[in-house]
């Protein structure tokens, strides 16, 4: 009897464990059955469509539509990559592709050469920004999309294509033989000095592609050699959408000592529970550092900014980052196609996840929203400062993101900046350096006169609201009684294009100068020219000149 009492708890425990094991096995079997059942249903529907549908179907196209619809129910980063899209995907991770090294600009049904990369096959073949593309290897490109034309332009390095273009400078139709090359778009398009004394290193990092950490380190080495008295560093991650997680760790390692946790990942599968530490020697762990971010800085950019912030290694300046704390991995699915899927969330050294949107919960309309305030956690940096999870990295110093006015947006979308820059280059063989090039008042007046008669009408927010008010009045049967007042109000707020041009002169002039500078100095010219009137850059220069203020900002508030 005593023996039975002694063994009873153990028998009960064995029963519970056994039951739990059977429950797990049953759940697993149910899961596999559901998967198998639904795959069979999908396959049967496909066969029935292929056999009996009234018109011929395209299996590849139909499969892609079905897969995309399925993935749309998850998050926007889980995508099906077809064999034909592999090259574009690999370009995002390597920065390399086979082609001519030029961007394209669309104007209605016609396509033009946009920005040309310096020393690219396009430049060597004599193509110019503003050239209208007529045909490629005898195939007309009229009314083709940019994607369709890109397919014709891309190809293995060393292969040739014949492009018929209307030359932007002579207006003559000519043929250019272009030998494709391996185009490598550098993730570090510009590195130089800023500040009155040219002792602040500035590095622009546009994407986290392979070896970008080495590129940043090499750029800083070169700047240090050029000016051994270099006092501080600005790392510009604005507009950087992210990329390779390993490279984010490498960039952090430039400023952070070996063995420091940078990011950890956690997923449903324990395979994705990992810690990523710095492994090499740092470039400099003491030099004052500012990291610039904005609403378009995402993923790997946020890992770097978040790590610098959590470890109190530097100051983050700009506007709140995008808020993408999800990790993607690609898996082969056969026939050279891949599935890019979210496998984990990442966490900065303080333990926070900066993911802003909760894709696991959607409303009745299928829309995912930001994490509720009740789910946002509070964490502490190395020095004890408070930082928050759920919604991007909030900078220590907030600056405004530049937003295009309605006028500037219209001029850009209608290619008027682009077209006038082409005309300007025809008339000027050279210009001053990007940092010192400005349009004269006479030249801006010439641009204003050139716009005369061109359609760049747009509706202000007030006009749009008045239109909505008029529509609502008609629905409520109140329009007849109020139409006189509405018409008078519309007349009062109607904008004058000439006045708008004068009111937004500084903005329009700056954008036009930037477009012109790019024609002579390429992408570097754009970046250098943009630095002249940059609020975040000015704040960086100001704060980096006050080391004691930086140290005070990196301490917890008392």
**Is 310 among the residues known to form the active site?**
yes
CA dihedral 411, 415, 417, 420 (to 10 degrees): -130
Task: Using DSSP, state whether 523 is helix, strand or coil.
Answer: helix
Q: What is the 3-state secondary structure (H, E, C) of 322-334?
A: CCCCEEEEEEEEE
Active-site annotation holder among 75, 115, 236, 310 = 310
Cα separation, 292 vs 401, whole angstroms: 11
Cα separation, 427 vs 442, whole angstroms: 14
Instruction: Find out whether 292 and 237 touch, Cβ atoms under 8 Å.
Output: yes
Active-site annotation holder among 187, 232, 264, 299 = 299
Cα separation, 165 vs 135, whole angstroms: 7
Q: Is 502 exposed, middle or buried (0-12, 13-18, 19+ CB in 10 A)?
A: exposed
Q: Which two tokens stand for residue 496?
A: 């004058």
**CA R_g for the chain:** 29
**Is 150 among the residues known to form the active site?**
no
**Alpha helix positions (H), 207-340:** 212-226, 245-255, 300-310
Question: Residue holding tokens 């549908």?
Answer: 53
Query: What distances in angstroms separate CA 415 from CA 65, 451, 525, one per listed residue?
Result: 33, 12, 19
Tally the C-alpha atoms within 13 A of residue 95's C-alpha that lie toward its C-beta.
Answer: 18
Cα separation, 292 vs 399, whole angstroms: 10
Instruction: Find out whether 130 and 516 touch, Cβ atoms under 8 Å.
Output: no
Q: Which residues of 146-167 are buried (b: 16+ CB within 10 A; e: fewer)?
A: eeebbebbbbeeeeebebbbbb
Question: Residue holding tokens 């293995």?
Answer: 156
Q: Which two tokens stand for residue 527?
A: 């970046």
Task: Using DSSP, state whether 371 is helix, strand or coil.
Answer: coil
Q: Is 556 exposed, middle or buried (0-12, 13-18, 19+ CB in 10 A)?
A: exposed
Residue 540 DSSP symbol: H
Cα separation, 433 vs 234, whole angstroms: 22
Task: Using DSSP, state whether 310 is helix, strand or coil.
Answer: helix
Active-site annotation holder among 154, 164, 320, 324 = 324
CA dihedral 461, 464, 468, 474 (to 10 degrees): 140
**Is 299 among the residues known to form the active site?**
yes
The residues that bridge with 370 in the sheet, in sequence order, are 357
Residues that are catalytic: 299, 310, 324
């Amino acid at each position: 009897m005593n023996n039975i009492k002694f063994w009873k708890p153990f028998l009960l425990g064995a029963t519970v464990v056994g039951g739990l094991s059977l429950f797990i096995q049953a759940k697993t079997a149910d899961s596999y059955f559901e998967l198998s059942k639904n795959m069979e249903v999908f396959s049967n529907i496909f066969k029935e469509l292929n056999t009996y549908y009234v018109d011929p179907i395209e299996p590849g196209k139909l499969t892609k539509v079905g897969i995309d619809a399925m993935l749309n129910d998850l998050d926007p980063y889980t995508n099906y990559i077809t064999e034909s899209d592999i090259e574009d995907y690999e370009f995002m991770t390597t920065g390399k592709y086979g082609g001519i090294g030029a961007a394209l600009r669309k104007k209605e049904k016609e396509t033009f050469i946009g920005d040309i990369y310096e020393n690219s096959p396009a430049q060597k073949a004599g193509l110019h920004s503003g050239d209208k593309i007529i045909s490629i290897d005898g195939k007309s490109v009229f009314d083709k999309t940019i994607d369709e034309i890109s397919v014709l332009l891309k190809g293995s390095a060393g292969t040739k294509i014949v492009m018929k273009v209307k030359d932007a400078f002579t207006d003559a139709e000519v043929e250019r033989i272009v030998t494709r090359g391996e185009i490598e778009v550098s993730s570090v398009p510009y590195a130089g000095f800023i500040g009155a004394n040219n002792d602040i290193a500035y590095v622009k990092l546009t994407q986290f592609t392979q070896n970008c950490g080495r590129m940043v380190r090499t750029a800083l080495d070169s700047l240090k050699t050029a000016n051994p008295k270099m006092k501080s560093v600005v790392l510009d991650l604005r507009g950087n959408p992210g990329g390779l997680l390993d490279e984010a760790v490498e960039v952090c390692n430039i400023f952070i000592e070996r063995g420091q946790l940078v990011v950890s990942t956690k997923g449903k599968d324990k395979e994705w529970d990992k810690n990523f530490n710095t492994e090499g020697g740092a470039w400099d762990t003491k030099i004052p550092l500012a990291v610039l971010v904005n609403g378009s800085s995402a993923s790997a950019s946020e890992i770097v900014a978040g790590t610098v912030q959590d470890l109190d290694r530097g100051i983050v300046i700009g506007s709140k980052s995008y808020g993408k704390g999800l990790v993607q991995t690609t898996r082969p699915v056969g026939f050279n196609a891949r599935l890019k899927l979210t496998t984990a969330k990442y966490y900065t050294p303080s333990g926070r996840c900066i993911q802003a949107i909760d894709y696991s919960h959607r409303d009745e309309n299928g829309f995912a929203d930001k994490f509720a305030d009740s789910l946002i956690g509070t964490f502490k940096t190395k020095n004890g400062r408070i930082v928050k999870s759920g919604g991007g990295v909030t900078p220590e110093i907030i600056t405004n993101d530049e937003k295009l006015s309605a006028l500037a947006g219209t001029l850009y979308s209608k290619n008027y900046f682009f077209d006038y820059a082409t005309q300007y280059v025809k008339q000027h063989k050279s210009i001053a350096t990007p940092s010192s090039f400005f349009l004269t008042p006479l030249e801006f007046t010439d641009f204003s006169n050139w716009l005369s008669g061109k359609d760049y009408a747009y509706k202000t927010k007030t006009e749009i609201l008045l239109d909505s008010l008029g529509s609502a009045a008609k629905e409520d049967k109140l329009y007849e009684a109020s139409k006189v007042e509405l018409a008078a109000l519309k007349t009062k707020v109607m904008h004058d294009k000439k006045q708008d041009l004068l009111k937004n002169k500084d903005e329009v002039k700056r954008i036009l100068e930037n477009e012109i500078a790019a024609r002579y100095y390429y992408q570097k010219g754009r970046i250098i020219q943009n630095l002249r009137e940059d609020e975040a850059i000015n704040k960086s220069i100001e704060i980096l000149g006050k080391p004691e203020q930086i140290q005070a900002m990196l301490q917890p508030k008392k």
